[in-house]
Amino acid sequence: MEQNKNQMMVEFDSISKNESFARVVVAAFTARLNPTLEEIADIKTAVSEAVTNSVIHGYEDGTGRIRIYTSISGNWVTVVVKDYGKGIEDIEKAMEPMYTSKPELERSGMGFAFMEAFMDELHVDSAVGRGTVVTMRKRIGQKENGGELRPEGEKENR
């Protein structure tokens, strides 16, 4: 196995209380790359949004399972959030900023926009009646003070 490659998977019930657990477990797993506080906050926010979408939209009022697969390869972190819920009919529309299928919940409809803003790559795959898979990738160590690029493989000085 490549020296800087690692992976983990966790599965839990789709209840809102588990959103904070998901954030922390992915952040802890990613910590070995020595990310900046901003990088960790970005990942935690993106994971929160993906898990919250699964809870609120994927399973609506029921409970199901959410699986998170996280891998590290080099300085890239990949986070896959999968649910087995109702799926998304129109992914393109669902990814539009401010769009929400549940306006009565007074949510902003910015989940996918936040995931896109905080991660380097975002891909959503969904099938009605079979669930949704959100794949997000972020390169750790790409910014140093002032937003300048840090050479690949060079750790941040703390």
Instruction: Find all residues with CB under 8 Å of 144, minimum gap 6, and list them.
Output: 150, 156
- Distance between CA atoms of 92 and 88, rounded to whole angstroms? 10
Domain 5-142 has CATH 3.30.565.10: yes
DSSP, res 33: G
DSSP alpha helices (H): ranges in 9-154? 18-30, 37-53, 91-94, 111-118
pLDDT at 104: 59
Residues 74-99 have a mean pLDDT of: 87
Residue 151's pLDDT band, with cuts at 50, 70 and 90, is: very low
The DSSP call for residue 155 is P
Could you tell me the residue ranges of all domains in the chain?
5-142
- Where residue 84 falls among pLDDT bands split at 50, 70, 90? very high
Give the pLDDT mean for 63-74: 96
Residue 150 has pLDDT above 60, yes or no: no
Phi-psi region of 131 (alpha: psi -120 to 50; beta: other; left: phi over 0): left
Give the SS3 label for residue 128.
Answer: coil
| Active-site annotation, residues | 49, 53, 107
Q: State the average pLDDT over residues 98-111.
A: 63
- pLDDT for 90 equals 83
Confidence (pTM): 0.82
Closest CA to 131 of 44, 73, 62, 77: 62
- Cα 146–Cα 111–Cα 88 angle in degrees, nearest 5: 140
What pLDDT shows up at residue 157? 42
Residues 6+ apart with CB under 8 A from 45: 114, 118
pLDDT higher than 70, residue 7: yes
Residues comprising the chain, all counted? 158
Q: How far is CA 63 from CA 31, 57, 84, 111, 152, in A?
A: 30, 11, 10, 20, 42
Q: What is the mean pLDDT of residues 137-142?
A: 91
Higher pLDDT, 119 or 101: 119
Instruction: Please determine, for residue 18, whether its predicted confidence score (pLDDT) is greater than 90.
Output: yes
